[in-house]
Amino acid sequence: MTVTISANVDPLLSQESELRRLRDAVNQRLSQLLPVGSERDRISEAMREGTLAPGKRIRPLLLMLAAGDLGCDRNHPGLLDLACAVEMTHAASLMLDDIPCMDDAALRRGRPTIHRQFGQDVAILAAVALLSNAFGVVAGAAGLSDTCRTQAVAELSAAVGLQGLVQGQFRDLREGNAARSAEAIADTNELKTSVLFNATLQMAALAANASPAVKSKLNCFARELGQAFQLLDDLADGHSGTGKDTNKDEGKSTLVALLGAEAVRQRLREHLHSADQHFSWACQQGLATRQFMQTWFSQQLATFS
Ligand code: GRG
């Protein structure tokens, strides 16, 4: 099932240059928000390296595009800070995910992983400091109401915590190498991936002062999007050129291992279609987010098929 957007395309986003502009703004603001230490300050250096290394910046882009679709000014400085906080949280999770007692990865974003560059002690401490920074950035985001900032902190906290990334990672580590049902794999994928997408979308909704009904639809969108995203990540595992170790999932009970790549591609398209429907229900006017997701996934699927 392919996602078809028949209405008019956002003219700004039809140009790759608008996405580049937003990505540049995120990178520049991240650089301002991260500490610059002395040469001896390895923690600051590791925080900067882990965050500023060339990631795709999907989550911050999504936050700004969705908020724009929901009626918020895409260039609102507070929005940029929320977007950077989500990226810092994501970067902290990747730094921890890569350490030897977890995935023991050598390569991330085309570079040696943080513990390979700085040592495991520095990687762990830098991830904790980065996460702490992220919450500070949300709490101090410029031009947003106190209520908005407080609720944004709560969203991020829920996404990271015991019923979020931490739980997803724990299940993946403890159950990922044993036989699992497709439902069990999808549940873990939701905790590992969808929950941070949900926090991203809920923060966009908070900045745009969206209604509870819209927030609920965005939650459905995030769940489907997270599933699609994780399936793409699994499909990419056997390919070189991703900037990560290849065949890291060997021996792991992923949906690709259970169902095969073709069935996973079909599932992915179904999740994407469903995500697109949820977003269009949440937001009838805006097309930027839908267009971005459709283009991005099409490109990625073409690469990994
Ligand atoms: C303290 C924040 C924190 C988390 C602790 C370690 C951990 C719990 C969670 C890790 C969960 C994890 C690794 C999920 C994987 C999600 C995923 C698909 C990552 C890849 O994201 P991309 O493709 O990466 O957006 P880039 O590098 O492009 O940003």
pLDDT at 14: 60
72/224 Cα distance (integer angstroms) = 24
Domains of the chain by residue range = 12-302
Instruction: Inform me whether the pLDDT recorded for 13 exceeds 60.
Output: no
Closest CA to 19 of 302, 292, 286: 292
* CB 278 less than 6 A from any atom of ligand 1: no
Instruction: Inform me whether the pLDDT recorded for 4 exceeds 50.
Output: no
Residues linked to residue 112 through DSSP beta bridges, in sequence order: 107
Cα 95 to middle of ligand 1, angstroms: 8
Pocket test for ligand 1, best of 52, 97, 225 (most atoms within 8 A of CB): 97
> What are the tens digits of pLDDT across the range 200-227?
999 999 999 999 999 999 999 999 999 9
Q: Which residues, including other chains, have CB under 8 Å from residue 16's CB and lie 6 or more apart?
A: none
Atom of ligand 1 nearest to the CA of 170: 8
> What are the tens digits of pLDDT across the range 45-82?
999 999 999 999 999 999 999 999 999 999 999 999 99
Instruction: Inform me whether the pLDDT recorded for 5 exceeds 50.
Output: no
> What are the tens digits of pLDDT across the range 129-142?
999 999 999 999 99
In whole angstroms, what separates CA 87 from the centre of its chain? 7
* CB 166 less than 6 A from any atom of ligand 1: yes
pLDDT at 286: 83
The region of weakest confidence among 95-109, 145-159, 241-255 is 241-255
* pLDDT band for position 6 (cuts 50, 70, 90): very low
* CB 56 less than 6 A from any atom of ligand 1: yes
pLDDT at 9: 55
Cα 98 to middle of ligand 1, angstroms: 9
Q: Which residues, including other chains, have CB under 8 Å from residue 41's CB and lie 6 or more apart?
A: 35
* CB 161 less than 6 A from any atom of ligand 1: no
pLDDT at 96: 98
Q: What average pLDDT score do residues 234-240 get?
A: 93
Mean pLDDT over each residue of the chain, to the nearest integer: 94
Pocket test for ligand 1, best of 30, 233, 248, 268 (most atoms within 8 A of CB): 233
Give the H/E segment covering residue 122: helix 120-139
> What are the tens digits of pLDDT across the range 277-304?
999 999 998 899 999 999 999 999 999 8
* pLDDT band for position 39 (cuts 50, 70, 90): confident
Cα 285 to middle of ligand 1, angstroms: 31
Question: Which residue's CA is the closest to the ligand 1 atom numbered 24?
Answer: 55
Question: Which residue's CA is the closest to the ligand 1 atom numbered 26?
Answer: 55
Query: Taking the model in full, what pTM does it have?
Result: 0.95
Pocket test for ligand 1, best of 57, 165, 167, 300 (most atoms within 8 A of CB): 165
pLDDT at 2: 44
44/119 Cα distance (integer angstroms) = 13
| Cβ-contact 114, 95 below 8 angstroms | yes
* CB 58 less than 6 A from any atom of ligand 1: yes
* pLDDT band for position 3 (cuts 50, 70, 90): very low
pLDDT at 304: 85
Question: Which residue's CA is the closest to the ligand 1 atom numbered 8?
Answer: 166
Closest CA to 254 of 229, 235, 273: 235
CATH architecture of 12-302: Orthogonal Bundle (1.10)
